[in-house]
Structure formats: C-alpha cells, structure tokens
C-alpha cells in the first residue's frame, strides 16, 4: 500500500464529474487500499478518488473512533437512492480544504447503493456521522466540495485563503 498526496482546492480535478467504474481489477483494488492508507494517515473519515487525482467514482470511509474499531468501507459507483426529509447540520471539514470547517445542512439519513470490491451490488442505510460522510464523499464524485454548500461569500473567502497559503508556501 502507498500513501498518496492529496489535492487541495482550488484544483480542476476536484471540480470534475468523476467517471463510472466499468472494470474492477487488481489496480482498482490497490487504488482503494492506497486511498484507505492515505485517509488513515491524514487522518480523515473519508476520501474520494478525485482527491488523489483519480477521476473515478470510488470512495472510502471509516467513521470508527479508534484504531481498534477500524471498519473500512469501500464503495464503487455509489449513489444516493433515498434521503430523509429531516435535515441536520454538522460541522464539516475536508482533506482538500485543510484547516477550514463550516456547518453544512444535509438530509439526516440516506440510503446508498454501491458495488463492493467483488462487484456485488449492496445498499446501506446511514444516519448520523456516516450519513454526513457518505454524502460528502459522493459530492466529491460530482465535483462538489462542502464549501459549495456555503454562501459564495464564505466559499470565496476560504478558497482565497487556500490559494494564498499555497503561494506563501511556494515562495
Ligand atoms: Ni472532502
């Protein structure tokens, strides 16, 4: 397994709609393992393939609180098939938007359909933190970041700061 560099916004790959996976092969399985290692190392609760520069519909997640409870989830071509009317706000962050956090309002519970690493179609019901993470990661596959759920004023402020931080680092 390998730990991969994570793209930081604004970046064109993060804005792109990722491609459907049509073949599950050893390379894809390795990609998901590398994504999990990168996510644990960061550390983060979820990671989408575009964040490491791969424009494919693949996400990984783990909302376990401790290393002993690890429960990695790998999803290929995930989609939300149902969302609750009830909404909930949660303070979100993103490995591609480092050091910025903001309250985002989303459905409190969702159902998601996806393929596992064996190509089997599965469905999960998620609520609480997992529902937040699933929706956040599927957003990434559609070129949407959590800052896109904020007012343009807030979003632009965060993106400007990220751009400035990168420039400062380069100098
Ligand atoms: Ni994210």
Q: Residues 12-44: pLDDT tens digits?
A: 999 999 999 999 999 999 999 999 999 999 999
Ligand 1 centre and the CA of 59: distance in Å? 10
Which residue ranges in the chain fall short of pLDDT 70?
1
Strands (E), the chain: 46-48, 58-61, 73-83, 87-94, 97-107, 109-115, 121-127
DSSP label at residue 10:
S
Domain that holds residue 55: 12-170
The mean pLDDT value of the chain amounts to 96
- Distance CA(71)–CA(134), nearest Å, equals 14
DSSP label at residue 114:
E
Total count of domains within the chain? 1
* CATH number, residue 122: 3.90.45.10
Evaluate whether residue 5 is within a structural domain.
no
How many CB atoms within 10 Å of residue 144?
Answer: 16
| 137 carries an active-site annotation | yes
Ligand 1 centre and the CA of 14: distance in Å? 10
pTM here is 0.96
Three-state secondary structure readout of 94-109 = ECCEEEEEEEEEEECE
Evaluate whether residue 4 is within a structural domain.
no
- The token pair at 52 is 């490491």
- The token pair at 101 is 């956090």
Evaluate whether residue 2 is within a structural domain.
no
Ligand 1 centre and the CA of 68: distance in Å? 24
Evaluate whether residue 1 is within a structural domain.
no
Report every protein residue that has its C-beta within 5 angstroms of ion ligand 1.
Answer: 94
Evaluate whether residue 123 is within a structural domain.
yes
Decide: helix, strand or coil at residue 139: helix
Ligand 1 centre and the CA of 140: distance in Å? 7
- pLDDT for residue 66: 86
């Amino acid at each position: 397994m390998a730990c991969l560099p994570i793209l930081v916004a604004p970046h064109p790959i993060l804005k792109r709609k990722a491609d459907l996976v049509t073949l599950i092969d050893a390379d894809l399985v390795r990609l998901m393992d590398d994504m999990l290692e990168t996510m644990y190392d960061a550390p983060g609760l979820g990671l989408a393939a575009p964040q490491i520069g791969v424009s494919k519909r693949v996400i990984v997640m783990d909302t376990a609180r401790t290393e002993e409870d690890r429960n990695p989830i790998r999803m290929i071509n995930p989609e939300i098939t149902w969302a609750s009317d009830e909404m909930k706000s949660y303070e979100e962050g993103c490995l591609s938007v480092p050091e910025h956090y903001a309250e985002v309002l989303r459905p409190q519970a969702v159902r998601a359909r996806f393929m596992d690493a064996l190509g089997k179609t599965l469905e999960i019901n998620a609520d609480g933190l997992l529902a937040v993470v699933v929706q956040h990661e599927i957003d990434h596959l559609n070129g949407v970041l959590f800052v896109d759920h904020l007012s343009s004023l807030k979003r632009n402020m965060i993106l400007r700061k990220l751009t400035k931080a990168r420039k400062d680092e380069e100098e």
